[in-house]
Structures are given as C-alpha cells and as structure tokens.
Structure 1
Amino acid sequence: MTATDTRTPRAAARTRAAATALAVAAAGVDLGAKAWANATLPGDPVSLGLLELRLAFNPGVAFSLGDTLPAWMVIAFTGAITAAIGVFAWRTAPRSRAAAWALAVILGGAATNLADRAADGQVTDYLHTGWWPTFNLADVFIVCGGLAVVALSWRNPHDQADETPSATA
C-alpha cells in the first residue's frame, strides 16, 4: 500500500473484483443488445415513443468524429484510451469504491465499443431519439460513468462515507 491508500489491501482487492465484475457485466449487456439489434432491427425500426430502436453503424467515435480516419487508427486510439481507463480504475480502487465503480462502468462501455469496432471497423448503434445522433448502451455507460466521476470529484474527501478507515487510524 502507498501512503495515499486509505483502505486495507483486502478491501482494495474486493473493490477491484467488484469493479471488474461490473465492467464485464456492462460489456456483456451491451454486446448482447448489439447482437439483438443486428439480428432484429435491420430495416425495421421499433418506435417506443420518445425513443426509437434503429440499427446504425458508426465508423467514427462520438458524433461520428474521425469517421474518415482509417479503422486501425481509430481502434488504436480508442484502445489506448480504454487501457488508460482500466489502469486508472485499478489504481483508484484502493482509495474510492464509488470512483472505482464509476470507472468500471466507463471501462465496460469503452471495452465493448472497442470490441465491436475491432470486428468490422465500426460500432453498432441502436438507440435513436430523433434529435440526437443514434447511440448505444455502451455510450450511455460511458456518459453516466463520466458524470459520476465528475460528481465524485466535487465531494469533500473528508465526507467519503463509503470508505473504510485505514489500518493506522
């Protein structure tokens, strides 16, 4: 443990295991939804009121940025970012369970979009609102996890009720 770690090694290991399981679960849910969308939605959108299930493919990243770049470049870039998030989540787990879980949700979404893109150079999208570009559940995980990380960064470190006191306290 480093001087900045505030939890026992056992608690940190449990948080890392839970965060890993959360990331895998988030990725699995989105990969399943993408498989369902590919099998069910081609040419046949489903209206759910404000939300429409519509199959689309995005060769770029958010808002189709970089859609003219070679697929290998986008994969390498997003792969590096995904790896960095994974390392950051791993290192954050001993200090904050909440931040580790928020980062795990981001990691699950980023990893599933990366895996989807690696298959054919594009990401499968299936959620459409009519006023926003078509997106997928992984994008929801990334945005919600990012908002949680931002919200957690605003809290006072002394008010972190979800933390276990250090062994020296």
Structure 2
Amino acid sequence: MAEAERITGTPEPEPGTGADPTPGAAAEAPAEQGAGRGKRRIAALLLVACVVYLLDLGSKLLVVAKLENHEPIQVIGTLLQFNVIRNRGAAFSIGEALTIFLTIIAAAVILVIARVARKLYSLPWAIALGLLLGGAFGNLTDRIFRSPGVFEGAVVDFIAPAHFAVFNLADSAIVCGGILIVILSFRGLDPDGTLHKD
C-alpha cells in the first residue's frame, strides 16, 4: 500500500499527526456548528415568546381585577386610556360570530411557526417569530379559558388610543412581529439565514 502511494504521489498520513482518514470528517465540524447555532436561535425564539406571553397574561389579569366595570383610566389625557372590553372577534371587533374559526387560525399560526423553527438560523427571524408566537398564545389562552366557553372565549382588550381600536399587548406583539417579517422579506433574509435577491 505504501509503495503504491509512493508511485502515485499520494502521501501517507504520518503517525501521530492526528490526520483522520475517514471521508467527510472535515465536514462534520461545520454541521455541528450549524446545529448549535440553530438551537440558539430556537432558544431566542422561545425566550421572546415567553416574555411576550407572560407580559400579556399578567397585564390582562391585572386590568380585569382592577379596572373591569370601572371608569376608563386616563394615561395621556384622552389620547390614551385603559378601558377593559371583552372582544369575541378579531381586530376592530370584526367577526364576533367567528370566534371558533379565529381560534383555529391562531392554533394554525402556532403550528406553522413550529415548522419554520426547525430550519431557523436567523436571529431577526427568531425575534419576529417569537413575537408572533407569544402573541398568538396570549390571545389563544383567552379564547380557550375565558367566558362564555372553551374555544369561544372573549379576548381581553384594554389599551384604548383615541380614535382607534382597543387592543392588548398580544395584539401589539403580533403586529410588531408581522412588520419585522415584512422588513426581513424585503431585505431578502430568509429564516435559514441566507440572503436572496429577486
């Protein structure tokens, strides 16, 4: 074998050099680095989602306990108030008869995010999807556990700007996540971290 390698010019690995004769061994390190980066991005997504969910849940519990059935609280005069309402529809109280359908949509969004997260290597996308996930879970919790019944519950809204719809922190997170996704898409950044140009 050594004689054949001498004739063909193929060098034989020297003892103690640590050379790995196994094909593809050099490609394992980048693959492991990519897997580690993917796990960190998923961790970032889950962290953002948990923060959004806890803030939304805590704010709803607080305003229901302290503000429901009371006069609105003026935060910035009449420009911004806290006024608790129960919303069975989507934004602007549209589709109040479609509460179950809206619940299914929220659950579908969560499943889509879980699917996309398997190939997630971009931190901005992780943040955007985390905002969407936390917001979707926040409103889905209301629809499942609040009256009048399971999958028909009314979402608690309380942030009331002047001349605008009343909303909550989950709604804000969903809108911010959606805007960020649009920006990332226009810039050509995919969830896997690659850039594309149309």
Shift of 1:73: 3.3
Conserved 8 A contact 1:112-1:138: yes
Shift of 1:91: 3.2
Query: Take 1:81 and 1:61, find their aligned partners in 2: how far apart are those partners?
Result: 15
Q: Which has the higher contact order (CA 8 A, sep 6+)?
A: 1
Q: 1:127 aligns with which of 159, 171, 179?
A: 159
1:102-154 deviations in Å (ceiling 9; x for gaps):
11111101111001111121100010012111000110000011101111111
Conserved 8 A contact 2:38-2:119: no
Q: Secondary structure at the match of 1:54?
A: strand
Residue in structure 2 matched with residue 31 of structure 1 by the alignment: 57
Which residue identity lines up with residue 94 of structure 2 in the other structure?
L
What is the RMSD of the two structures over their aligned residues, measured on CA atoms? 2.1
Could you list the runs of 5+ residues in structure 1 that have no partner in the other structure? 158-162
Residue in structure 2 matched with residue 105 of structure 1 by the alignment: 131
Residue in structure 1 matched with residue 27 of structure 2 by the alignment: none
Which residue identity lines up with residue 123 of structure 1 in the other structure?
V
Q: Secondary structure at the match of 1:48?
A: strand
Which residue identity lines up with residue 24 of structure 1 in the other structure?
C
1:60 counterpart = 2:98? no
Shift of 1:92: 4.6
TM-score by length of 1: 0.82
Shift of 1:51: 1.1
Number of residue equivalences:
152
Shift of 1:18: 1.5
Q: Secondary structure at the match of 1:131?
A: coil
1:20 counterpart = 2:49? no
Residue in structure 1 matched with residue 26 of structure 2 by the alignment: none
Q: Secondary structure at the match of 1:77?
A: helix
Q: 1:143 aligns with which of 175, 179, 194?
A: 175
TM-score by length of 2: 0.70
Could you list the runs of 5+ residues in structure 2 that have no partner in the other structure? 1-30, 147-152
Q: Secondary structure at the match of 2:125?
A: helix
Residue in structure 2 matched with residue 160 of structure 1 by the alignment: none
Conserved 8 A contact 1:85-1:107: yes
Query: Take 1:63 and 1:164, find their aligned partners in 2: how far apart are those partners?
Result: 35
Conserved 8 A contact 1:22-1:105: yes
Q: Secondary structure at the match of 1:8?
A: helix
Query: Take 1:164 and 1:108, find their aligned partners in 2: how far apart are those partners?
Result: 22
Q: Which stretches of structure 1, 4 residues or longer, exceed 4 Å deviation after superposition? A: none
Residue in structure 1 matched with residue 186 of structure 2 by the alignment: 154
Shift of 1:78: 2.2
